[in-house]
Amino acid sequence: MGRVIFAGARLFDGAAFHEGQALVTRAGQIEAIVPEAQRPEGQQIVLKGGVLAPGLIDLQVNGGGGVMLGAGAEPLEEIATICAAHAALGATGVLPTLITTSAAQTRRVLAAGVAAVGRVSGFLGLHLEGPHLDLKRPGCHPAEHIRPMDQDDLETLCEARAGLPALMLTVAPASVTPDQIARLTEAGVVVFLGHADCSFAEAEAAKQAGAQGVTHLFNAMSQLGSREPGLVGAALSLPLATGLIADGIHVAPQTAKLALQLAGERMFLVTDAMAVAGTDLTAFDLAGQRILRADGALRTENGTLAGADLSLPQALRFCIDRLGLSPAQALAMMTARPAQVIGAKAGRLSPGLPADLVHFNEDWRLARVWQRGVARQAKSETS
């Protein structure tokens, strides 16, 4: 693959916009940003306005393309299907996310993740959301598999991390000790707190041991109170990276605005997407429960939220239109910031990084997608 030059659109580099500039790529990597009048020879892709940005990064995708991670017998195929489905939605880099399941299935998914490295486009590693959560805040996670971490779990996770580009782990202080968090952190695991009914002091102890963030703020966690700040208070006041589901359902717009004022640049966006992502499915099965898709939400038959019916481009428009964020602020929360959380070489337009790109129309709808310079089919959006 020779030199390819992208021109005709505003560039967003992960932090700021560039006007009148062109992006130069070669062999699937970014080479330079240059004035459009000085762009070199090569294949010219002239875009008709809009914004060219780094490929979007999603650190919490439980499923997509009709499958859930860990639901079947072939987790490597599930990883490939999920990554492809989200690439079509603009997320060129994702962490396929395994919700709470058995120890045996967790090991199978970890092994599949290691096998996916270098073979599956868009695969940045794995996110295990459980099983070491708090039975008081299970959400839709199967309670029979929630359990404290033991030495075998710890060794399995540390060993898997050595074979993965990134391993993110959501845990609750009720099921892990500060010493275990410290050991995981030393091994390179990115530890987040979530599905936890913990006190502020317990969250702070986990932070001091090495925990780096909080999973889907406000959901399935101890709330901010006048005398006990809980995990929400810890997320908003301690130096913790914080994931937010920006759909107006998981967190009310007014609450999200307040959280953004407090967390600032520590906040990033996730979709918490499920099997329906990139499909027209109206329902699916999750750990023996029927999940219904209606009115922009996914719920169990008893009304409990079960992930989100959301894409990052939809979240981008919500942040701009409903939360009043600037396009630069909103785009940073789905490019450079999540990439930084896991140490991924992605999420920015910078020389030497992969040419993972998305093009938005003037109304912030996804128009085109490239992974390592190769055009991918973008999923047409209807909302």
Which one is catalytic: 272, 280, 321, 356?
272
Percent of the chain exceeding pLDDT 90 equals 96
Percent of the chain exceeding pLDDT 70 equals 99
Global pTM reads: 0.97
* Model pLDDT, residue 288: 85
DSSP 8-state secondary structure symbol assigned to residue 353: S
* Model pLDDT, residue 383: 42
Using an 8 Å Cβ cutoff, are 104 and 292 in contact?
A: no
Question: For residue 349, which of 8, 14, 7 has the smallest C-alpha distance?
Answer: 14
Domain extents for the chain?
3-54+348-376, 57-342
Residue 272 is a catalytic residue: yes
Q: What is the mean pLDDT of residues 183-209?
A: 98
What are the tens digits of pLDDT across the range 315-372?
999 999 999 999 999 999 999 999 999 999 999 999 999 999 999 999 999 999 999 9
* Model pLDDT, residue 11: 98
User: Does position 115 have pLDDT exceeding 60, yes or no?
Assistant: yes
**Rounded distance, CA 57 to CA 55, Å?**
7
- In this structure, whether the domain defined by 57-342 belongs to CATH 3.40.50.300 is answered with no
Q: What is the mean pLDDT of residues 107-136?
A: 98
User: Does position 1 have pLDDT exceeding 80, yes or no?
Assistant: no
Calculate ∠ Cα 94-217-315, nearest 5°: 55
* Model pLDDT, residue 379: 85
Q: What is the mean pLDDT of residues 188-200?
A: 98
Q: What is the mean pLDDT of residues 39-62?
A: 97
Dihedral sign of CA atoms 250, 253, 256, 260 in order: positive
Q: What is the mean pLDDT of residues 100-126?
A: 97
Residue 381: pLDDT band (50, 70, 90) is: low
Dihedral sign of CA atoms 136, 139, 144, 150 in order: negative
Pick the CATH number of 3-54+348-376 from 2.30.40.10, 3.30.420.40, 1.10.10.10, 3.20.20.30: 2.30.40.10
Range scoring the smallest mean pLDDT among 46-55, 210-219, 249-258, 298-307: 298-307
Question: For residue 55, which of 381, 376, 371, 379 has the smallest C-alpha distance?
Answer: 371
User: Does position 80 have pLDDT exceeding 60, yes or no?
Assistant: yes
CA atoms in the 13 A half-sphere facing the CB of 379: 22
* Model pLDDT, residue 287: 84
Rounded to the nearest integer, the mean pLDDT of the chain is 96
- Characterise 20 by phi-psi region: left (phi > 0), alpha (psi -120 to 50), beta (else): left
